[in-house]
Amino acid sequence: MYTLRRWVESVGGHALTIDGIANFEDACTVLANRGPEVHANYQNLCPMFGVTWPAARGLCQRLSTTSLRGRSVLELGCGLALPSLVAAKMGARVVATDQHPDTEAFLRRNMHNNGITALRYETFDWHGTLPAGVRERSFDHVIGSDVLYTIEMPDILARAYERFIGPNGTGWLTDPGRPWLTEFISACEGLGLSVSDDVVVGDDGKDDAFLLLLRRT
């Protein structure tokens, strides 16, 4: 149902060939006109997953400065999974997660485009039953970008970071400055995670984002 395009993302010293949605606004319009059943479930079906957001590029920039070979990485709300693709190219063992029904098909395309095999996709409730091979408090790095898009997300996301960051692990979240960023920080601190902040700038000098570093206290 989507009109697609192919482009090259140059992030963190890596060039990746990406297939995604050609125009986000047009895709939203098409979805909204598909009938009452789709419209009632619009929030879950919204094609936000199909484009690369600036915060994802900022996260890739930070990943590129970190030694990831052999490290375990979990991406929360991956969308097109650009950070997961970069981490996999750097030798990490990556699990990308999302709940949009079309995410996996796009990720498989983009793994093929870039010759990436060491990347696993799972769709699951971050607070529900875990799929085989995904364990609590077991990841070296838990990452996410621009996922604080509803009022419910600060608490949901903070609990996911707390659930999956390993004993000596770190969490990274990049965000363009959405209204719920401070609520997320408070939720993390309430769960015993320390939070420090920084700003990252994309390779083009424009795609800046807030970067939060999360650790267990």
Residue 42: the pLDDT is: 46
Residue 202: the pLDDT is: 56
In a domain, 53, yes or no: yes
In a domain, 33, yes or no: no
In a domain, 153, yes or no: yes
In a domain, 23, yes or no: no
Higher-pLDDT residue of 150 and 159 is: 159
**Cβ atoms 94, 120 nearer than 8 A:** yes
- CA 181 vs. chain centroid, Å, equals 16
Which of 125, 118, 122 has the alpha carbon at shortest distance from 104? Answer: 122
Res 33 pLDDT > 90: no
What whole-number distance in Å separates Cα of residue 122 and Cα of residue 14?
24
pLDDT tens string 157-189? 999 999 999 999 999 999 998 999 999 999 999
Higher-pLDDT residue of 8 and 26 is: 8
In a domain, 1, yes or no: no
Total residue count of the chain as it appears in this document: 217
The counts of H helices and E strands in the chain are 8, 9
Res 49 pLDDT > 90: no
Structure tokens that stand for 140 in this block = 């070296």
Res 81 pLDDT > 80: yes
The sign one gets for the Cα dihedral 107, 210, 25, 39 is positive
In a domain, 30, yes or no: no
pTM comes to 0.92
Which own/partner pairs from 192-200 qualify as long-range (CB within 8 Å, at least 24 positions apart)? 192/162, 192/216, 192/217, 193/158, 193/161, 193/162, 193/165, 193/217, 200/58, 200/59, 200/61, 200/62, 200/174
In a domain, 169, yes or no: yes
**Where in the sequence is the domain holding 141, given as residue range(s)?**
49-216
In a domain, 166, yes or no: yes
Q: State the CATH number of the domain containing residue 158.
A: 3.40.50.150
Which pLDDT band, with edges at 50, 70 and 90, does 199 fall under?
Answer: confident
Which pLDDT band, with edges at 50, 70 and 90, does 8 fall under?
Answer: very high
Helix, strand, coil shares, percent, the chain, to 5: 35, 30, 35
- What is the number of structural domains in the chain? 1
Residue 129: the pLDDT is: 94
